[in-house]
Amino acid sequence: MNIVAPSLLAADPMHMERDVRLLESAGAKWFHVDVMDGLFVPNFSFGYSTVSALRKITNRILDVHLMIDRPLRYVEQFCKAGADYLTVHVEADTPENISATLDKIAEYGVKPGIVVKPKTPIETIEPYLEKCALVLVMTVEPGFGGQSFMADMMPKVAWLKQTLAKVNPTCHIEVDGGVDIKTAPVCKENGANVLVAGSACLKAEDKAAFISALEA
Ligand code: DX5
Ligand code: ZN
């Protein structure tokens, strides 16, 4: 069974707890939490205070996606805030620092993940695959919800599926951006098993049906 991680970026910020409860009742087992610094991406979103507030109200998996420059500076705060998975962009620092960042996340007992932007070749993350519990392939340019799915990212997912089978077979393959009822099947066919869905999930009238369809 696949995992659906509703993205809380698409929730109503004034009714976050209500939306978390709605999604829990609909069967959500993970929540995707986007963190943006206005520098690595041209937008702002949640910080570690949001992660810690979420941690207090839900026992579901918190999948925290850091879209921030030099994330090593904030690993401690996000780990202590209660992230279960903490994912950093390969483009966000030097190779040495990215490696150190993944190690530091693991030292806090949190599961490390790495992300690639659409224009970044997938081979860039090869040196880190053994350190990761999750690899995230962006299927939109990071920064905003509600964009169109980039089907041309699917070869990256297929490459990961093949490569991880050899070096780290339990590592999750996640896709993020424009995932909905129509685009999820091709993600799964290529090997993704964690599907982030923001606007499509929050807008779905029957959220339980939406989540079950993507999980299947
Ligand atoms: C975009 C974020 C996504 C976003 C996805 O930078 O990383 O997690 O919430 O939203 P949708 O599903 O609406 O494309
Ligand atoms: Zn995200």
- Span 80-108, pLDDT tens digits: 999 999 999 999 999 999 999 999 999 99
Q: Can you tell me the mean pLDDT for 50-79?
A: 98
Write the DSSP symbol of residue 122: G
Q: SS3 of 160, please?
A: helix
| Annotation marks residue 19 as catalytic | no
**If you measure from the C-alpha of residue 34 to the centroid of ligand 2, how many angstroms do you get, rounded to a whole number?**
5
Is the beta carbon of 180 within 6 A of some atom in ligand 1? no
Check: CB of residue 157 under 8 Å from CB of residue 189.
no
**If you measure from the C-alpha of residue 65 to the centroid of ligand 2, how many angstroms do you get, rounded to a whole number?**
5
Ion ligand 2: protein residues whose beta carbon lies under 5 Å: 34, 65, 176
Please name the helix (run of DSSP H) or strand (run of DSSP E) that holds residue 112, with its range, or none. Answer: strand 111-116
| Annotation marks residue 63 as catalytic | no
Q: What is the 3-state secondary structure (H, E, C) of 71-97?
A: HHHHHHHHHHHCCCEEEEEHHHCCHHH
Tokens of 166: 């050899």
Is the beta carbon of 6 within 6 A of some atom in ligand 1? no
User: So what's the pLDDT on residue 210?
Assistant: 98
- Residue burial 140-150, b: 16+ Cβ < 10 Å; e: rest: bebbbbeeebb
Return d(Cα 77, Cα 79) in angstroms, integer: 6
Check: CB of residue 176 under 8 Å from CB of residue 32.
yes
User: So what's the pLDDT on residue 34?
Assistant: 98
Return d(Cα 20, Cα 18) in angstroms, integer: 6
**If you measure from the C-alpha of residue 155 to the centroid of ligand 2, how many angstroms do you get, rounded to a whole number?**
20
Q: Please identify which residue in the block is written with the tokens 């960042």.
A: 101
Is the beta carbon of 34 within 6 A of some atom in ligand 1? yes
φ/ψ of residue 59, rounded to 5: -100, 10
Is the beta carbon of 87 within 6 A of some atom in ligand 1? no
Return d(Cα 177, Cα 56) in angstroms, integer: 27
**If you measure from the C-alpha of residue 140 to the centroid of ligand 1, how many angstroms do you get, rounded to a whole number?**
8
Return d(Cα 78, Cα 49) in angstroms, integer: 9
Q: SS3 of 197, please?
A: strand
Check: CB of residue 136 under 8 Å from CB of residue 174.
yes
Check: CB of residue 195 under 8 Å from CB of residue 4.
yes
Ligand nearest to the CA of 9: 1
CATH of 3-215, one of 3.90.420.10, 3.20.20.70, 3.30.559.10, 3.40.720.10: 3.20.20.70
**Residue among 19, 37, 63, 176 flagged as catalytic:** 176
Which numbered atom of ligand 1 lies nearest the CA of 143? 6
Which numbered atom of ligand 1 lies nearest the CA of 139? 14
Return d(Cα 215, Cα 146) in angstroms, integer: 21
By residue count, the chain amounts to 216
Domain ranges in the chain are 3-215
Q: Can you tell me the mean pLDDT for 165-176?
A: 98
Average pLDDT, the chain: 98
Is the beta carbon of 177 within 6 A of some atom in ligand 1? yes
Q: Please identify which residue in the block is written with the tokens 């698409």.
A: 10
pTM of the model: 0.98
